Amino acid sequence: MTGIKGIHHVTSIAGDPQENVDFYVGVLGMRLVKRSVNQDDPGTYHLFYADAEGHPGSDLTFFPWRHMPAGQDGVGLTVEVALAVAPGALEFWSAHLGQHGVPVGEPHVRFGEKALPFGDPHGLSLTLVETADRRDFTPWRRSPVPEASQIRGIHGIRLWERNLAATGEFLTRVLGFAALGREGAWHRFGLAGAASGGLVEVRELPAERRGTWGVGSVHHVAWRVTDERDELAIRERVQAAGQRPTGVIDRFWFKSVYFKEPGGALFELATDGPGFSVDEDPATLGEHLVLPPWLEPDRRAIEAALPPLRSGASVPG
């Protein structure tokens, strides 16, 4: 069965864009690999952070809608993003986050993996997870975080759902996940051959309110597919399962299909290519505003509507 290969990226809603850059580059040490705009709302930045090369699966992206109210956790939303770090790295991160005044939760073990929860400045729930699983990763030499401790990509996501059975069946029957077991209230699902970067953990909360998008919440989770042919094959399965996928949308750096899983969380299928270097020199990724070709005629108006933004390369570590 043609299947997804893991997480491609996770897109969340941020507040002030400069605060977003300062945290993800200056504190978490990720590279700003693409500075663009929300293609459906070009007056808003779309900021992409990843490893040095922008490998699929390493990418956190943000829409800084700074005037939007705070999001509210609830069923039908992704409520946490887990980020992969190397074994032994949590000792560094506990001290590093503390030095930057970032509140952290209690270190703990989940599904046999050491984890350290914390939040970003706008309320997004994040967790660093130690894992020895191999994955594509290129360290960023200008990062304020030492290479051995740098974030290597997205490890997995957590969902709250009203009906575990419906979401679990969709994950396994349509998207190709396998049920990997239960720990406390959390049920883990994973993709074959994609341990780190291919994990979904679901908590069933039948009486919980429905979550709402806002600053500090995850907007959608994108799943990796090799190319448009595989994307269309999975789209057909999603549609046959009774969901309503969009057509293929050209995002220039990848092609996308959007749909909601049965519980309401927004998912995307995203192709691995052509990638972030198709329109920029790899050495200067993210240093200038880049627009897809169809928005170039409006560049002057778009630039005038966007607030100034210091380059990630100039953020102090």
Provide the edge-to-edge strand list for the sheet that holds 194-204. 108-110, 113-119, 125-130, 77-85, 153-161, 194-204, 186-191, 178-183
- pLDDT band of residue 315 (cuts 50, 70, 90) is very low
The whole-number average pLDDT for the span 271-280 is: 96
Q: Considering only CA atoms, which of 317, 309, 314 is closest in space to residue 47?
A: 309
Q: What digits encode the pLDDT tens for the residues 140-194?
A: 999 999 999 999 999 999 999 999 999 999 999 999 999 999 999 999 999 987 6
Q: Is residue 1 part of a domain?
A: no
Q: Is residue 264 part of a domain?
A: yes
Q: What is the spatial distance between Cα 90 and Cα 68, in angstroms, rounded to a whole number?
A: 33
Question: For residue 35, what is the domain's CATH number?
Answer: 3.10.180.10
Q: Is residue 131 part of a domain?
A: yes
Yes or no: say if 144 and 100 are a contact pair by the CB < 8 Å rule. Answer: no
Domain count of the fold of the chain: 1
Q: What is the DSSP letter of 66?
A: T
Q: Is residue 299 part of a domain?
A: yes
Q: Is residue 101 part of a domain?
A: yes
Q: What is the spatial distance between Cα 205 and Cα 187, in angstroms, rounded to a whole number?
A: 12
Q: What is the spatial distance between Cα 186 and Cα 115, in angstroms, rounded to a whole number?
A: 15
pTM over 0.85: yes
Residue ranges making up the domain that contains 225: 7-314
Q: What digits encode the pLDDT tens for the residues 38-68?
A: 999 999 999 999 999 999 999 999 999 999 9
Q: Is residue 293 part of a domain?
A: yes
| Rg over CA atoms, the chain | 18
Identify the pLDDT of residue 313.
44
Q: What digits encode the pLDDT tens for the residues 8-28?
A: 999 999 999 999 999 999 999
Tell me the average pLDDT of the chain. Answer: 95
Identify the pLDDT of residue 311.
72
Q: Is residue 292 part of a domain?
A: yes
Q: Is residue 2 part of a domain?
A: no
Residue spans of alpha helices (H) in the chain: 17-26, 90-99, 164-169, 228-240, 299-305
Identify the pLDDT of residue 194.
67
Q: Residue 181: beta bridge partners?
A: 188
The whole-number average pLDDT for the span 285-299 is: 97
